[in-house]
Amino acid sequence: MPAKLTRNFCIIAHVDHGKTTLSDRLLEYTSTITKREMTDQHLDAMDLEKERGITIKMHPVVMNYPAKDGKTYKLHLTDTPGHVDFAYEVSRSLAACEGALLLIDAAQGVEAQTVANAHLAEQQGLKIIPVINKIDLPSANLELCMRQLEDILTIPAEEAILASGKSGIGIQDILEAVVTRIPAPRWTDYPTLRALVFDSKYDAYRGVVSYARVFSGTIRAGEMMALMSTGQRSEVKEVGVFRPGMEKVASLGPGDVGYVISSIKSTEDIKIGDTITHANKPAADMLPGYKEVRPMVYCGLYPLESDDYEKLKVALGKLRLNDSALVYSSESSVALGFGFRCGFLGLLHMEVVQERIRREYDVEIISTYPSVVYKVKKHNGDVIEVDNPINLPDPGSIEDISEPTIKAAVHIPNEFLGDMMNLIMEKRGSVDHTDTLDGARVMLTCTLPLNEILVDFNDRLKSITRGYGSMDYELGEYRVSDLVRMDILVNQDPVDAFASIVHRTKAEGQGRALCEKLADIIPPQMFKIAVQAAIGGKIIARDNVREMRKDVTSKCYGGDISRKRKLLDKQKEGKKKMKLIGKVSIPPDAFIQVLKTNS
Amino acid sequence: MAGFPPAQEKAQAAAVPPLGVYVHVPFCATTCDFCAFYQTVPKGDAVRRYVDAVETEAALVPWDSRRASTAFWGGGTPGLLKAAEIERLGRIMLLYAGQPDEWSVELAPATVTPERLAMLKQLGVTRVSLGVQSFDAGLLDALGRQHTPAQVYRAYDLIRGAGFASVNLDLMFALPGQEEVQWRADLTEAMRLAPDHLSTYCLTFEEDTALWVKLSQGKVKLDPDKEAAFYARTWEFLEAAGYAQYEVSNFARPGHACRHNLNTWHMHEWVGLGPSGASQHAGWRAANPPDLTQWHADLDAGRRATADRVRLTDDLLAADAVIFGLRMNEGVSLPRLRRRFPAAGWSGLEDILPKFLLGGLLVASTEGRISLTPRGRLLADAVGADILEAFESAAKVTVK
Ligand SMILES: Nc1nc2c(ncn2[C@@H]2O[C@H](COP(=O)(O)OP(=O)(O)OP(=O)(O)O)[C@@H](O)[C@H]2O)c(=O)[nH]1
Ligand code: SF4
Ligand SMILES: [Mg+2]
């Protein structure tokens, strides 16, 4: 099929605006998937995605569409995640496309990631097709959506397609628009093979699988390929497309999106954003790659069983292939032994990575309290970066500590402005300016310390605005702040894994909250155990872990001895699933729980 | 009796640990909601076949001309057997195990008749354990028990009249809907009857019971706080009434502790006959399958004690002697156990003892006897799990 009959597009939107559901209809309409095989949010293939009802990874899929003009087009669709933590997935998908369907939930209107993602698509020079989705909802407000489209996004309202992924409205209109409005693949006449590696994964049977968008040339099995950033050569073993499962094809040509498996074995040799070319006829210049993403938040991940260190290392290597935003390096902790310092794009990202390590790689892990990256200026003029509170130098040597801030765009209905301002103040933030979006909504551009928004800012925003507020953010500047290290002591012993850096004025409140939650999460203990928060040795908060009240089998006779022993064995194994710190057993997901129960 | 002159008995006791024999009678008229014991409703000639099979089994046991010093008939409901059946079963046991010094039989109130009691007495049974559970008709009903308070009193009077050396009452507490006042009334009523021994059991939710199903359906709830309170009240109450606690759930007037059970908690030896009967004997710990048909099949093939077979090692016995020994108020003498099981991983235990001592769960005497405090006794399983781990990790270290 010639490249001019190929279209590449992705679906982008704010979280939950119906991207994956709409993809279902497109797959159905083009008979890529039969009704019988269809499941809800079919492309969300990962268990974790299905369970949580959110998309975590981009999902490319190829479809054939017989258009009204009588020709059959090859359409490469990529579904993307909407959550801000996975914005990097969106930006990488965009680079493999010429157009984007921008969905707007008819009942919610334009939200923060609608704007952010639309801007990303524009910057990449993509053709945007606006789709007002979920028009089946009784609360749909088409007029408002149209106005927002023009006022906020400066997209002419008449371009909008009305659709419902749920009811299957507007599906053909969308496919026609894809064919007629989105340009054919670009850069096809470059003289040699150039394919962009935009994602990858580790397949247990086939090894390293690279997701590639071919811009020019053709790649087939048996050829020698080269990765342009390193010059590394390898033999192409297999090429194929996603339908949406991996399906082997003879070759991938200009405009195609698919996968490439080569003789590359090591997970470290693949760099996302690299360009694949032919080894014997290499391209002169690389395709534009990706900006490296900077992690927003770090935590330590440790194997629950110290024997599993190597297994965790392998798991992180393989996972990173499929999650290029994840960074890690080795570190050690007094309480937890040897492990890894890992960087994430946000707390949801952090949670997803931990969950995937547990499920996909079967390593039980425990994490430390998360931290952002601080810059510490010492009296001698040195500036060091600290992403682990334990590495904070002696207070006497510190001139000042700066913390990262974010520039946030907060979209809210007008009536919640006052409450929102209070929340921003409480979180040590400031509003830089206020823009009216349309008659009913405002956008606050504000600066906030990153560590204040990590935990519960989004939940509070949602509850203040009854679900109608949303936020997008990017890293801002560093600013000097009055920060101190808060230690947590369990049974009088400081536990390095629990330390955090907090603003002095908030230390007491946060210390109290943390102690209370830890005391609640730690299962009842045989002994009286205190959880305390301290700053520089001074206790600022304390709570007690619940004491076990009763744990005894009532009846225990000769016949029961074997049975009782089995029960004790089970009990003993259960304890092994937790981390023994001092003499206290701590559940491995203690911090995820702490952060979650935050209200 | 004849073959065991007293002198020989003494010599034997010094050389080998005491042996107990347990006979499981697997029949009940109906199944109680909380019951996890193996039992079925007897049909056709099931009882006769069972007694025959006990004989077959007893013949397979390597008795090694040892006499059992204690015997215990439990169930099920041993009292469901007719007097003649009781006699045959008794004779079989006596033939192989000899006349025990202490011989307990569990009886359900509804099964107590003068004929049965006379037969038991004639065989030499010394101790009767009556499954009262509660004196409260409503609670009995809720448990699915097949007797009335009136039957309990009648049974008790008959048992006393028959003149057994020791009488025990089984009671249960923390029953669904039971308040502390009701439990206190049950205890008071039990005291009025003045038994020699009392077993008080916290209602336990065992898998594969009707009660467990109710729990999983949310019809009843677990309340460890309530259970802990019931335990504490029970212990105080009975102590004040002159019944010394000698194990988590057992209380006795002086000289009336159940020797058969003490024998098992001391990790001595016992032979279990009948389906689900467990043995710790002749170098092995093992049980019969908890199923009448399978048990018969095993015996037909000349086998017994085929389930959960493990070799008795110092490590196994030492850990269990400590874990089960600590359930007794007297605790355990560590120097004595170390002499009995020198090869066990004692260093593991030494490492964890301080935290229990400091944490107020254990106390130690200067002679090296350790015992649980009342709070420790309430946490005996948690302590036990730690002790088990300590022994196992010490064993691992020495293997490496
Ligand atoms: N009424 C209605 N509900 C819809 C429609 N499309 C999606 N939904 C519902 O909206 C929710 C989110 O749908 P998804 O398709 O998972 O949304 P998404 O944009 O892929 O979400 P993320 O990938 O997490 O950003 C689900 O509960 C869907 O059932 C629609 O057209 N009409
Ligand atoms: S009588 Fe005893 S053995 Fe029989 S079902 Fe009831 S509790 Fe179980
Ligand atoms: Mg989705």
Please name the residues in contact with A284: beta carbons below 8 A apart, sequence gap of 6 or more: A192
Is A40 part of the contact surface with chain B (CB cutoff 8 Å)?
no
pLDDT at site A437: 83
Interface contacts A/B by beta carbons within 8 Å: 108
Q: Which two tokens stand for residue A110?
A: 């334009």
User: For residue A516, is pLDDT > 60?
Assistant: yes
Percent of chain B clearing pLDDT 70 (strictly above): 95
Task: Name the band, by pLDDT with cuts 50, 70 and 90, for residue B208.
Answer: confident
- A597 pLDDT tier (thresholds 50, 70, 90): low
Given pLDDT bands bounded at 50, 70 and 90, which one contains residue B141? confident
| Chain B: closest CA distance from residue A264 (Å) | 40
* B75: closest chain A residue by CA: A559
Higher pLDDT, B330 or A573: B330
Q: Where are the beta strands (DSSP E) in A177-267?
A: 194-203, 207-216, 219-220, 224-227, 233-242, 246-249, 251-252, 257-262
One-letter amino acid for residue B388 of the chain: L
- Indicate if the pLDDT at residue A430 is higher than 50: yes
Report pLDDT for A439. Answer: 78
Distances (CA, A) of A334 to A146, A326, A366, A494, A599: 58, 24, 14, 10, 31
pLDDT tens column, A491-501? 898 988 889 99
Least confident of A332-341, A579-588, B119-128, B264-273: A579-588
Cα of A516 vs centre of ligand 3, distance in Å, is 36
Instruction: Pick the residue from chain B with its C-alpha nearest to A560.
Output: B278
Contact A556 B324 (CB under 8 A): yes
CA-nearest residue for atom 3, ligand 2, is B76
| pLDDT over 50 at B5, yes or no | no
Q: Is the pLDDT of residue A531 over 80?
A: yes
Return the H-helix or E-strand segment holding A275: strand A275-278
> Mutate which of B24, B27, B31, B133 to test ligand 2's pocket (most atoms within 8 Å of Cβ)?
B31
Q: Does pLDDT of A267 surpass 90? A: no
| Facing residue for B324 by CB, picked from A552, A554, A561 | A561
> Chain B residue closest to A529 (CA)?
B359
B355 touches chain A (CB under 8 A): yes
Q: Report CB contact under 8 Å: A558, B381.
A: no
State the average pLDDT over residues A370-385. 95
Model pLDDT, residue A226: 96
Residue written as token pair 């006052």: A418
CA distance B66 to B47: 28
The minimum CA-CA distance between B21 and chain A, rounded to whole Å, is 10
pLDDT at A534 exceeding the cut of 60:
yes
Residue B176 CB contacts under 8 Å (≥ 6 apart), including other chains: B142, B203, B220
Is residue A302 over pLDDT 80? Answer: yes
Q: Could you say which of A527, A556, A568 has the minimum Cβ distance to residue B359?
A: A527
Residue A503 predicted with pLDDT over 50 = yes
Closest Cα to atom 8 of ligand 2: B35
Residue % of chain B over a pLDDT of 90: 77
Asked whether the predicted pLDDT for residue A408 surpasses 60, the reply is yes
Q: Which of B231, B277, B320 sits opposite A550 (nearest CB)?
A: B231
The pLDDT value recorded for residue A583 is 73
Q: Give tens-digit pLDDT for A171-198.
A: 999 999 999 999 999 999 999 999 999 9
Give the pLDDT confidence score for residue B2 in this predicted structure: 39
Is pLDDT at B14 greater than 60 in this prediction?
no
Partner A contacted by B168 (CB < 8 A): no
Question: Cβ(B180)–Cβ(B229) under 8 Å?
Answer: yes
CB contact under 8 A, A554 and B249: yes
Residue A240 has pLDDT above 50, yes or no: yes
> What pLDDT score does B263 carry?
95
* Global confidence as pTM: 0.78
- What number does the ligand 2 atom closest to the CA of B31 have? 5
CA distance A471 to A473: 7
Q: How big is chain B, counted in residues?
A: 400
For residue B146, the ligand closest to its alpha carbon is 2
Instruction: State the pLDDT confidence band at A1, using cuts at 50, 70 and 90.
Output: low
Q: Is A54 helix (H, G, I), strand (E, B) or coil?
A: coil
Chain A residue closest in CA terms to B267: A558
The verdict on A554 touching B (C-beta cutoff 8 Å) is yes
Do the chains contact at B380 and A551, CB–CB below 8 Å?
A: yes
A565 touches chain B (CB under 8 A): yes
Q: Are A539 and A492 in contact (CB under 8 A)?
A: no
pLDDT of residue A2: 80
Helix-strand-coil split of chain B, %, nearest 5: 45, 20, 35
Instruction: Give B272's contacts in chain A (Cβ within 8 Å).
Output: 558-559
Burial degree of B249 (CB within 10 A; 0-12, 13-18, 19+) = buried
Indicate yes or no: CB of A555 within 8 angstroms of CB of B261. no
pLDDT confidence bin for B146, thresholds 50/70/90 = confident
Domains of chain B: 17-264 (3.20.20.70), 313-400 (1.10.10.920)
In chain A, residues with a C-beta closer than 8 Å to the C-beta of B228 are: 549-550
What was the pLDDT predicted at B397? 67
- Ligand 2 atom index nearest CA of B30: 5
What atom of ligand 1 comes closest to residue A40's alpha carbon? 29
Q: Which of A528, A555, A571 sits opposite B385 (nearest CB)?
A: A571
Compute the nearest-CA separation of B27 from chain A (Å).
17
Residues 501-530 of A with CB under 8 A from B: 526-528
3-state secondary structure A58-121: CEEEEEEEECCCCCEEEEEEEECCCCHHHHHHHHHHHCCCCEEEEEEECCCCCCHHHHHHHHHH
B268 vs A: CB within 8 A: no
Please compute the mean of the pLDDT values over residues B325-330 and round it to a whole number: 97
Q: Which chain A residue has the Cα nearest residue B316?
A: A565
Are A30 and A75 spatial neighbours (Cβ–Cβ below 8 Å)?
yes
**ipTM of this predicted complex?**
0.89
- Position A24 confidence tier, pLDDT thresholds 50, 70, 90: very high
A577 and chain B in contact, CB less than 8 A = no
Residue B361 touches chain A, beta carbons under 8 Å: yes
pLDDT at A596: 67
For residue A436, give both structure tokens: 């009216």
Please give the average per-residue pLDDT across B285-312, as a whole number. Answer: 95
What is the pLDDT, as a whole number, of residue B7?
A: 42
CB contact A552 to B (< 8 Å): yes
Residues B289-305, mean pLDDT to the nearest whole number: 95
Sign (positive or negative) of CA dihedral A224, A227, A233, A234: negative
Query: Residues A17-34: what's their mean pLDDT?
Result: 95
Ligand nearest to the backbone CA of A45: 3
Q: Which atom of ligand 2 is nearest to the CA of B145?
A: 6
pLDDT at A103 over 90: yes
Residue A305: predicted pLDDT: 86
pLDDT > 60? residue B400: no
Q: Which of A256, A251, A227 is nearest to A239 (CA)?
A: A251
- Which of chain A's residues have a Cβ under 8 Å away from the Cβ of B310? 562
Per-residue DSSP letter, A48: H
Strand partners, A260: A210, A239
Q: What is the pLDDT of residue B11?
A: 41
Question: Does A575 lie at the interface with B, CB-CB under 8 angstroms?
Answer: yes
Confidence grade of residue B15 (pLDDT, cut at 50, 70, 90): low
Q: Hey, of A554, A563, A567, A577, which one would you mutate to test binding to chain B, going by the most B CBs within 10 A of its CB?
A: A554
Q: Which residues surround ligand 3, an ion (CB under 5 A)?
A: A 19-20, 55
Task: Determine whether the interchain pair A551/B20 forms a contact, defined as Cβ–Cβ distance below 8 Å.
Answer: no
Query: Is it the case that residue A124 has pLDDT exceeding 50?
Result: yes
pLDDT tops 70 at residue A247? yes
d(CA A190, CA A285): 10
Closest B-chain CA to A583: B355
**Residue contact A559–B324, C-beta within 8 A:** no
Q: Does B239 touch chain A (CB under 8 A)?
A: no
Cα–Cα distances in angstroms (integers) from residue A138 to residues A15, A107, A108, A279, B202, in the given order:
20, 8, 12, 58, 57
Q: Whose CA is nearest to atom 28 of ligand 1?
A: A18
> Is the predicted pLDDT of residue B159 greater than 90, yes or no?
yes
CA distance A322 to A328: 14
Chain A residue numbers with beta carbons less than 8 Å from the beta carbon of B378 are 549-552
A21 CB within 6 A, ligand 1:
yes
The set of protein residues with a Cβ atom below 6 angstroms from ligand 2 is B 28, 31-32, 35, 37, 39, 75-77, 108
Q: Residues of B with CB below 8 A from A561's CB?
A: 264, 278, 280, 285, 320, 324
Tokens (6 digits) for B21: 């024999």
Residue with CA closest to ligand 2 atom 5: B31
